[in-house]
Each structure stands twice: as structure tokens, then as C-alpha cells.
Amino acid sequence: MTGRRVVITGVGALTPIGNSASEFWNGLLSGKSGVRPITHFDTSDLPTKFAGQLENYEATNFFDRKEARRMDPVTQYALITADEAIADSKIDLDNVDKDRIGVMVGTGIGGMTTYYEQSVSLHEHGARGVNPFFIPMLIPDMPAGQISIKYGFRGANFCAVSACATGSHNIGLAFDSIRFGMSDMVLCGGTEAPVWRIGIAGFSSMKALSKRNEEPEKASRPFDKDRDGFVLGEGASMFFLESLDSALERGARIYGEIVGYGFSADAHHITAPDPDGNGVRLALNGALDMAGIKPEDIEHINMHGTSTPLGDIAETNSIKKVFGDHAYKINLNSTKSMTGHMLGAAGAAESLATLLAIYHSVIPPTINQENPDPECDLNYTPNKAVERDITYAMNNAFGFGGHNTTLVFKKYQK
């Protein structure tokens, strides 16, 4: 790897198993399921009646009513987690060059709640029924825009959108921005708020969602023989990245280091994974090459692991092909078993889980591993967290359209 070293000094999270990074981590270690019956809208006509939802979330606990009405939940979640990551970094914003601080925050879908509600209002009331803030509330770049406006960050600011690989793509691009000297610091990550009637209906019509309505907490079961689809989730996660020199100069706590990534495409199908895993292998190998390490150096992989019949097998086979016999020595997991699939926020939340696994030397479990699929025969860290000292770990995130990302994180060492 060339360029400046890039470290993580602040983190934030808002997830179905915790409304802060520390709550998220504790939920992961305890094997908590954040999947529960949906209560905030009518599900009587929907095939799937549950999701990974934020617990005890009220926008007015974070924003005044006027602010909340002018922001879709996707932007609210981003601002809340950005606040946490910036506070966690302990950066003194009065003594930094804000021209050199970037914001790279993505969402796979954008303001779904706003789009649905305003479409209904247009149908019922005509053009005058459409909120004048409709477009700014809807567009996917607004979370990044609102963060920069709040803090005055004038550096590189954009929103990479790649479906469920979105959060990871933004982290990788932020890493590049710092290591090549375009930025000194970047707030980056992903946010998503898809748990609404149209979201459930849309994914249900694709036959992508689990229908385990009688046991929603057991519906997300990656690598298990009885899996029947993924579980829709929501939330956000953010990283505050900076150059190592900057972090050392101000005496910041360092969670870990980013040392490489691999980006690739399946070039196969709009939703189905390539069963041969060609694109995934490109991402895995590319990440190893950029990090300058061997496959045998990887001790942990937080997998994309969506709990879909095809996806879990394809990802497992790709890992076997890249890592060979070493694949069986890696502690793998899928934290989607607890959060559900947070779409554009998934790669960011799962990167945070990977980073904290390195920092705390503990690997969270894959819960609901009750009847292992014989085609998924690796060590997925079933049902209980495992202590393990980790130097290098990976996170995988793949998106509809065939977008693949792999990030490599490293324990910080001077």
C-alpha cells in the first residue's frame, strides 16, 4: 500500500440492536436479535410482517419538531451517528482546517418514507399536496450535505450509491482521499431507512424476504439449512477517519487502521449473485493485494451473509477458492443474523463490527445456527462470541447490480 496511513478515531451507530456504538457492540456480543414484529404501520396485507427496526427511536429526542419534519429518517439517522462519531473522536473542531475535512456518506435507496408519503399526498390532494421540501428530503446525497452544513466541513463531499455495498464503498473512497492527500479527515459511512410499507412490499414481491412471521427473531439465519430469505433492517453507522500523523499529533485514541480494499463487479445479474463467485474473488484478492498481505494473514471475516439460499453458498465458495485450506481456520460471521440487512448502511455497520472485533479481541457470533447447511461448512462462529486476538480482518459487502466490496482492517501497531 502506498500513501499515508489511515486510522479510525471515532465511531457511531444506530441499529436494531443498539442506539449507539457501545450498545451495538454489547448487543452483538450477547447474540441479541433486533428483529421483531412491525408495529408502526399496518402489515395485515403484507407477506412479511417483521423487520430489524430501531428500538425506542423518537426523532424529537434528537431534533426539534420543525427540523424533524424537514428531514427524512435516512438523513436523521446519518446526522445522529455522525454526531456520535465526531464526539467519540474528541476532535477540536475550532482548531482544524475544515477545508480539509470531507464527508462521504451514502444510502442505497434514499428517502423512501418521504417518497411514499408524498406520492400518496399527490394522489389524494394534487400538486398542492406535495411538500416543498420533498426533493431535498428524498435525494440520496442529502445526508452527506446536511452533515457538512451542520459542521462546516468544506472538503470532498459526495454520496457513492451501490445498493448494499454503499457503506463500504464510501469508507473505501474516504480511505483513498486521506492516503493520497486530498483530505486530512473524513466522516464516512452509510445510512438507510427502508422499513416502510413500500419497502416491505417491494422486497416481498421479489420473494427476497423471509416469511417466518411466527418466529421473527429467528428469521435471519445465515448459513442455516432452514433459511428462507433475508430480513429488512434499518439504521446507520459512521467512521471518523484521519491520517495517522494527525491522530498521533493530537493524542487520539485509535481503534484500528484501514489498509486495503477490493472493488469489483459480478457482471452477471441485476439481483442474483454470480454462482461462480468471479467478482467476489476479484474483490477479496484485490483487497489482499492492496494491503500487501497473504491469505493466511486473515483471521476474521465479517461476511455479507444475507440468509438467502443462493447468496450464502456463493460467498462461502468464493472464500474457499481464495483462502484454500486456510478458510477453515478463519472465524467467519454474519452480524445480519442479529440486525437484519441494513442495505446501504450494512457495509458500514458490519465494518464497525469488524473493527471492534479487532479492537476488543472478540468475534461476535452468527446467531440462529441450528441446522447447518452442508454446503456452508466453514466456521461461522455459531451462536456464541469467541475470544481471538486479531491482526487482520475483512468485511464483505455486495449489492444488487453485482457491486462487490471487501475492506481490510488491521490492529493498530506503531
User: Any idea which residues carry the catalytic annotation?
Assistant: 164, 304, 341
Are 358 and 410 contacting, i.e. CB atoms less than 8 angstroms apart?
yes
Using CA atoms, how far residue 260 sits from 109, 356, 405, in Å, is 26, 17, 11
Cα(225)–Cα(317) distance, integer angstroms: 16
Using CA atoms, how far residue 72 sits from 129, 142, 266, 277, 312, in Å, is 17, 9, 32, 36, 32
Amino acid at 91: I
Are 78 and 146 contacting, i.e. CB atoms less than 8 angstroms apart?
yes
Compute φ and ψ for 138, nearest 5 degrees: -85, -40
Cα(294)–Cα(280) distance, integer angstroms: 17
3-state SS, one letter per residue, for 162-210: CHHHHHHHHHHHHHHHHHCCCCCEEEEEEEECCCCHHHHHHHHHCCCEC
3-state secondary structure of 307: coil
Are 351 and 329 contacting, i.e. CB atoms less than 8 angstroms apart?
no
Cα(43)–Cα(390) distance, integer angstroms: 43
Single out the residue of 122, 120, 168, 170 nearest to residue 143, CA to CA. Answer: 170
Compute φ and ψ for 209, nearest 5 degrees: -90, 150
Taking phi first (over 0 means left), then psi (-120 to 50 degrees means alpha), and beta for anything else, what does residue 15 get? beta
Number of CB atoms found within 10 A of residue 145's CB? 18
Give ∠ CA 162-163-166 in degrees, rounded to 5. Answer: 55
Q: Residues in the chain, how many?
A: 414
Single out the residue of 365, 159, 395 nearest to residue 256, CA to CA. Answer: 395
Compute φ and ψ for 33, nearest 5 degrees: -95, 130
Cα(364)–Cα(257) distance, integer angstroms: 20
